[in-house]
């Protein structure tokens, strides 16, 4: 009886192994196909003439976890490009004198979303929330308020992108959070300036092949 069962068990094990391999291969092909679809969809999105930053953010939030770190980095850099392209339009929006006056009354450095939600003026609150939803924050210099890219906004994507991109975004976040010069005055010490320069040099050394290092 045992001798009869051995070939059957061997056959069952072989079939199980084959099925497992086939399933793994099929699953991998499916994953690759899905990733290609996500990247193709992103290219289509980026090719649109009228494209808001919020739309790109929405796409990333839906799909960035479904692709490789390399492709996730491409998605995130695409977001940065759109923000850079849209920044001038946003800054012009803030040139409105009425908006400037309203911001003057309530402005806080490093506003939280909860604090913005508490603003009584509905029109101002809408503009500020829309600014935040598009990955910008409000800065001030010489009594004027204007949006800049909020690089701390990118922190939620750090775990899914490549180490060199994380390092680059961390450098940009430092500059975003505390600019070296404001109101024609140096607002950080020389030690901090030297530290930032050293961190930038270290980034170039460690990530010389990164797309963020200019040749």
Cβ atoms of 203 and 167 within 8 Å: the answer is yes
H or E element in which residue 105 lies: helix 97-106
- Residue 182, class by beta-carbon neighbours within 10 Å (0-12 exposed, 13-18 middle, 19+ buried)? middle
Cβ atoms of 69 and 41 within 8 Å: the answer is no
**What does the alpha-carbon distance between residue 179 and residue 99 come to, in Å, rounded to a whole number?**
24
| pLDDT one-digit tens code per residue, 164-197 | 999 999 988 988 776 654 544 444 454 655 565 5
**What does the alpha-carbon distance between residue 37 and residue 104 come to, in Å, rounded to a whole number?**
46
Residue owning tokens 């490093």 = 110
**pTM higher than 0.95 for the full model?**
no
| pLDDT one-digit tens code per residue, 122-145 | 999 999 999 999 999 999 888 899
pLDDT band of residue 32 (cuts 50, 70, 90) is confident
């Amino acid at each position: 009886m045992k001798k009869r069962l051995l070939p059957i068990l061997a056959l069952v094990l072989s079939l199980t192994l084959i099925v497992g391999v086939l399933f793994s291969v099929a699953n991998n092909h499916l994953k690759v196909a899905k990733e290609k679809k996500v990247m193709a969809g992103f290219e289509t999105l980026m090719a649109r003439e009228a494209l808001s930053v919020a739309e790109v953010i929405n796409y990333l939030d839906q799909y960035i976890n479904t692709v490789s770190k390399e492709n996730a980095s491409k998605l995130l850099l695409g977001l940065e490009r759109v923000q850079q392209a849209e920044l001038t339009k946003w800054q012009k929006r803030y040139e409105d004198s009425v908006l400037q006056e309203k911001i003057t009354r309530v402005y806080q450095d490093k506003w939280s979303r909860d604090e913005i939600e508490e603003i009584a003026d509905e029109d101002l609150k809408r503009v500020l929330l829309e600014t935040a939803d598009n990955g910008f924050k409000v800065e001030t210099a010489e009594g004027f308020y204007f949006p800049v890219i909020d690089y701390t906004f990118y922190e939620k994507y750090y775990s899914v992108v490549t180490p060199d991109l994380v390092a680059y975004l961390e450098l940009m976040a430092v500059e975003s959070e505390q600019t070296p010069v404001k109101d024609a005055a140096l607002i950080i010490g020389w030690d901090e300036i030297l530290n930032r320069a050293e961190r930038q040099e270290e980034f170039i050394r460690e990530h010389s092949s990164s797309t963020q290092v200019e040749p």
